[in-house]
Amino acid sequence: MGILEVKNVSKNFGGLKALSDVNLSVRENTVHAIIGPNGAGKSTLLNCLVGKLIPDTGSVMFDGQSVLGRHPYEINQMGISRVFQTPEIFGDLTVLENMMIPILAKRDGTFELNALTSIGSQKDVIERAEHMLEEMSMADKRHFHSGSLSRGDKRRLEIAMCLSQEPRLLLLDEPTAGMARADTNNTIDLLKQIKEERDITIAIIEHDMHVVFSLAERITVLAQGTPLVEDTPENIKGHPKVREAYLGE
């Protein structure tokens, strides 16, 4: 059994079937990619995993526990952390200040910005944030304005913020979207490093096949809200249905 088990999940938006009968099993400590054309339902599926959307039918189990009906912050506390399609950092804050946010966040998922102004008394928080930045090779940028970082470094910071919560499952929605090749390659290396150094499962939605084939151990192809096939990268590459439906051949 996988650490994440999705069974018969369907989600409609009005008359539109965004997901129909989706099954997905993500094995612990693997990198599992979910690919598929635009509008296939990938982000909708991710939203169902983190409590942003509630499926109309089906079940979502994480480590044997149902996530359905739970608040996003509860699911986060269960060990699922998610990186959004567009970076969600505060551009006006420094790298270090952003890094402190998830460490300072209250157990109910709320955060008061003025907590940052009393940081003199939060030495341990600063230390933890600095330690995390060191692990992520960002220590030299800790006083930079986050808004001035490259796309790759914004993503790196955001991933660091997620990892500070020590998730067991990291979800990423198109983490390299809009990146130049160098930043994309840095992101690939970063995710490889994270995988090597931690007990973590990674599920990644990705458009860039170079990223997918560099990282994934299993791949699920989603088309029109339904999984077309789930297999190893080698088998996916040669799969006629995939070539037809996804690669447009």
Nearer to Mg ion, 42 or 141 (CB): 42
Nearer to ligand ADP, 168 or 218 (CB): 218
Nearer to ligand ADP, 38 or 118 (CB): 38
Of 23-31, 41-49, 54-62, 234-242, the segment contacting ligand ADP by CB under 6 A is 41-49
One-letter amino acid for residue 63 of the chain? D
Q: Which does 41 bind (CB under 5 to 8 A by kind): ligand ADP, Mg ion, none?
A: ligand ADP
Q: Which does 18 bind (CB under 5 to 8 A by kind): ligand ADP, Mg ion, none?
A: ligand ADP
Contact with ligand ADP (CB under 6 A): which of 18, 96, 157, 236?
A: 18
67 close to 169: Cβ distance less than 8 angstroms: no
CA distance 157 to 96: 9
Nearer to ligand ADP, 179 or 222 (CB): 222
Nearer to Mg ion, 155 or 168 (CB): 155
211 close to 184: Cβ distance less than 8 angstroms: yes
Contact with ligand ADP (CB under 6 A): which of 1, 16, 182, 247?
A: 16
Q: Which does 13 bind (CB under 5 to 8 A by kind): Mg ion, ligand ADP, none?
A: ligand ADP
Contact with Mg ion (CB under 5 A): which of 6, 20, 24, 43?
A: 43
Degrees to nearest 5, angle at CA 202 with 198 and 204: 150
Answer yes or no whether residue 41 interacts with ligand ADP by CB under 6 A: yes
Nearer to ligand ADP, 53 or 125 (CB): 53
Nearest to 28 by CA among 201, 218, 220, 232: 201
Of 42-50, 140-148, 158-166, 234-242, the segment contacting ligand ADP by CB under 6 A is 42-50
Of 12-20, 25-33, 58-66, 145-153, the segment contacting ligand ADP by CB under 6 A is 12-20
Q: Which does 1 bind (CB under 5 to 8 A by kind): ligand ADP, Mg ion, none?
A: none
Q: Which residues bind Mg ion (CB under 5 A)?
A: 42-43
The residues binding ligand ADP (CB under 6 A) are 13, 16, 18, 36, 38-44
